[in-house]
Structure 1
Amino acid sequence: MMKLKWYGLGVLCMLMSTQAMAATSDCFPFVGEKYKFDVGWEFVNAGTAEISITKQGVDGYRVYNFARTNGFLDLFKRVRDTLVSEGLCVDGKMQSTLFTTDQVERDYKATKHVKYLYKENKVEFTKNGKSKTFDVPAGHLNVIDAFYLTRMNPPSKGKPISIPVFDSEKKYDVTVKLLKRQRLKAPWGKWVDCLVIQPELKTEGVFTSVGTIKIWLTNDARRIPLKITAKLKIGRIVVRLTEYSKT
C-alpha cells in the first residue's frame, strides 16, 4: 500500500474522483489487532496460528496470517502457511487489493497472488509464476476481507448475509448465516455471549479444510473470534483463541 499526500491540483483531482478514499478506521476498525490461536485436530494439539493487522498509508490495511503444525503433526502433515491480505477503504467500503498465499506443506507447495484491479472490475490470479485474468463484478473481496466484513455486519436469525468473493480462480457469493447464540469462556477468564455463524465457502484455506466451518464471535461491538471449527475428511479441526490484544 502506498501513502498518498494530496496538494493543490491533487486535492482537486481526488475530490472529483468517483471513488474517493476514506480513513481506514471508517471502513476497517480492526487495525492494531493481534491474535494467537491453538489449533487442534480432534483431541490432538495440531499447531498454532497467528494474525496481526497493520495500517498501510492513510487509507489501507494489511492482515498477516501464519499457521503451522507442531512437531508431532509435522511427521504426518507438515504445514507452514502464510496468507497476506491487503485492502483500501473506497467510498467508505472495504476493497481488497491483494491476496497472497504461500503454502508449504508436506506433500504440497504453492505460491498464489491475486491482484484485485477494482477500477477495471478484474482480478489477476498468479500461481507458481503463471497468470490469468478474470472479469468480476464491482465490490469483490478476498475471503479474509469477507470475514472482517462479517464481523462488522453479522447475520441475524433468519437473515443471512451474502458477500461476493474471488478466491482460488473462483468467483462466488459467500453466504453467512447465524446458527445460534452460545456462551464461551474467553482467554481473559470471563464467560461471554457469542454468535455462532456459518460461512459457506467453496474453496480451500489454511490447513486445507473443506467441510462445514463454524465461527464463534463475541456478541459485542468487537465481535472477537473465540473459536472456529472445520470438518475434514477425517475428523475436524478446532481453533481456539489464546491471546488477543489491540493497540
Structure 2
Amino acid sequence: MIKLTGEQAEALGQFRLAQHSEEGSPLTIEVKKLLDTSQTGPYLDRVKNHIGATDKKTAASILIKRYAFLPVIYLYSMTSWNIKLDISHENITFVSQEKDGLWLPGFRFIHLQGQGIETEREKWREDAVRNLFNGHIFPLLNRIANEANVSKLILLENIAIYMFWLYEKILPLGTHSERAAEDFKFILEEASGNLFGCENANPLKKFDSKKILIESTGKTVRPRKTCCYSYLTSSGKRCGTCPQACRIK
C-alpha cells in the first residue's frame, strides 16, 4: 500500500478531504452506517431538517450531490498519481462541515492510502473503476434510493456531473492532461456496465448531453437529464444545469 504524502493530502483538500472530524455533529457519520438499514432513514431525516428539504427524496438527492466529491477524490488520485485509494466503506467517515452558510461535508479516511499499478495500467484502471462504482457507489445509491423512494438515475447523475467537472475543467489543467483524457474516455465511453453494478450498458453515457449556451449568463453548460430537487430546499435555488432552467434559457 502507498501512503499519500502531505502534499497529496493538501491537493485533495480542494475536493473536501477532511483532516479532522466535527465531533458531536449529528450529520457526521461513518459511511458503513449509511448502509445499515436501521440508520439510513434516521440520517436522511437529519439531513432533511438541516437543509430544509420538503421530503426524503430531496434530502437523498442533496446528500448524494455532497457525497459526489468522494468519487472526485478517488478519480483525481487514480489519474494524477496512479493510486487506487482504499475507499472501503469502513475506512471513511462523512464529516459535516459548513462554509458560508452552506452544508458542504467532507471525507476523513482512517488510512489515507492506496494501491499503485501492479499490472498493465489498462487492467489496473478497469479494476479501479469497478472498485469505485460497483464496490462503493452502487451499494450506497441502492440503499439510499430504496430508503427514500427516489430514482437511482437522479442519484447517479449527481455523481456524473462532478465527474464531468473533474475531467473537463480540473484535470486538463494538470501535468497529466493526456492521461486524464484517456481515463475520461474509458469511463464514459468504453467501460462496460458491469463495472458500475449494471447488467446493461454503461449508465453514465446517458448523462453526456449536448452542451448549450445559456444566454442570460454567457455560460456553456451540459443540461441535466434529471432534476436534483435543490429548489425544494430552504434555499429555493435551482442548480446551474437545471433541465427546466436550461430549457427556458
Q: Do these two structures clear the TM 0.5 threshold for a shared fold by scoring above it? A: no
Kindly indicate whether structure 1 or structure 2 has the higher relative contact order, using CA contacts under 8 Å at least 6 residues apart.
2
Larger radius of gyration: 1
More strand by share: 1
Q: TM-score, normalized by length of structure 1?
A: 0.30
